[in-house]
Amino acid sequence: MSNKNKFFKYFKEYEWSNIYAMIKNNRLDPKICTDNFNNKLVVITGATSGIGYHTARKYASHGANLICVNRNIQKSEKLKNEIEKEFNVKCDYIIADLCILKDIYAVANHLSRLEISIDVLIHNAGVYLTKKELTPDGLEKVFAVHYLSSFVINYLLTDKLKSQEKSRIIMVGSEGHRFAAWGIRLDDLNWDKRRYSGLKSYGTAKVAQLLSMLVFNDHFKNSGVSIITMHPGAVKTDTGQENGLVYRWLKKNLLDKTLKSPLISAEALYFLGASKDIEAISGKFFNLTTEEDPAPPAIDREVALELWDKSLTITGLKS
């Protein structure tokens, strides 16, 4: 279907009630889970700061062991020492840059060889750019980090997770998927044909994440593996530090002052990973811990299947 036809298709599918629901849900606090998670294994990407850091501490405080996937070895070692000393759990780490396919494959292969079960896999690593950047593989960086990294890791872990008969995958998505209001351009994922927009590239990556969830959910059906995506709330993080001085000043002096603590995101991610109340729920989008309908482009199964096939080719999985 052409981009013009997609516009009219999505335009007809938008409902004001969904927008009102989003606004209402943005005001809600996350549900709380107090259950222990003793001796469970949780894998978290991007765990040395922001949402990932507080989520790692939250799971560790409930007895979970961790594997954290981070870029910086010094910060990873500091996190490991802090968590193991404070909570008396095991906190290992893998050093990887999740914009580089070689590193993404290395993480997936490492995790697939584990002899123990992965109880919760949290895709949290992210980046926000105001100017287009390409990865060493020639891919648009925001798309690679937010979408392709989770796609490859989930794909290569499918057999392991299904063999466990029980596991949860949580992708940290965003209400920002609504920035790609008229869908994703499968013919221009690298933004070669359009003027680059930070908001739209971010929205595109988050729509892609939600579309992949639909297909993965089909693959995991009746296996005991669930996959969900969640909006972590409007919280203060270090995302965007790669951008210029003007953006960083605006973020620090204006935007950050309106944002909440990432502790609420950690509470939500613990509930979604540990609560028995939602262990049978899969293929859904949550605003913190409240289930919500995504925007129409994020539930287009035709595009989801096209994107799946294209992702296999881009990442080399097809070969």
One pLDDT digit (tens) per residue for the chain, 319 residues: 666 668 778 888 888 888 888 888 888 899 999 999 999 999 999 999 999 999 999 999 999 999 999 999 999 999 999 999 999 999 999 999 999 999 999 999 999 999 999 999 999 999 989 899 999 999 999 999 999 999 999 999 999 999 998 999 999 999 999 989 999 999 999 999 999 999 999 999 999 999 999 999 999 999 999 999 999 976 545 554 554 444 344 444 444 444 567 899 999 999 999 999 999 999 999 999 999 999 999 999 999 999 999 999 999 998 6
- Measured in whole angstroms, the distance separating CA 39 from the mean position of its chain's CA atoms is 24
Pairing of strands 290-292, 225-231: unpaired
For residue 131, the 8-state DSSP code is S
Residue 219 CB coordination number (10 Å): 14
Is there a contact between 31 and 271 (Cβ–Cβ < 8 Å)?
Answer: yes
Give the pLDDT of residue 251: 40
The fold for domain 3-8+33-315 equals: Rossmann fold (3.40.50)
Scanning 165-282, the segments in alpha helix (DSSP H) are: 198-219, 245-250, 263-274
Give the pLDDT of residue 36: 96
What's the predicted TM-score (pTM) here?
A: 0.91
Name the residue with tokens 């849900």: 25
CB burial of residue 198 (10 Å; 0-12, 13-18, 19+): middle
CB burial of residue 185 (10 Å; 0-12, 13-18, 19+): middle
Spatial CA neighbour of 156 closest among 199, 103, 109, 99 = 109
Half-sphere exposure of 192 (CA within 13 A, CB side): 8
- In angstroms, the CA 18 to CA 292 distance is 8
Q: In this structure, which amino acid lies at residue 22? A: M
Is there a contact between 76 and 53 (Cβ–Cβ < 8 Å)?
Answer: no
Spatial CA neighbour of 93 closest among 114, 107, 113, 105 = 107
Give the pLDDT of residue 247: 38
Query: What is the SS3 assignment for 92?
Result: strand
The crossing angle, in degrees rounded to 10, of helices 149-164 and 301-315 is 100
Give the pLDDT of residue 249: 42
Beta strands in the chain (DSSP E): 41-45, 65-70, 91-95, 120-123, 167-172, 225-231, 285-287, 290-292
CB burial of residue 51 (10 Å; 0-12, 13-18, 19+): buried
Q: Which residues contact 101 (CB under 8 A, 6 or more apart)?
A: 135, 137, 139, 144, 148, 152, 315, 316
Is there a contact between 122 and 77 (Cβ–Cβ < 8 Å)?
Answer: no
> What is the enclosing helix (H) or strand (E) of 307?
helix 301-315
Give the pLDDT of residue 255: 47
The crossing angle, in degrees rounded to 10, of helices 50-61 and 73-87 is 30
Is there a contact between 147 and 138 (Cβ–Cβ < 8 Å)?
Answer: no
Sign of the four-CA dihedral 220, 224, 229, 235: negative
Give the pLDDT of residue 290: 96
CA R_g for the chain: 19
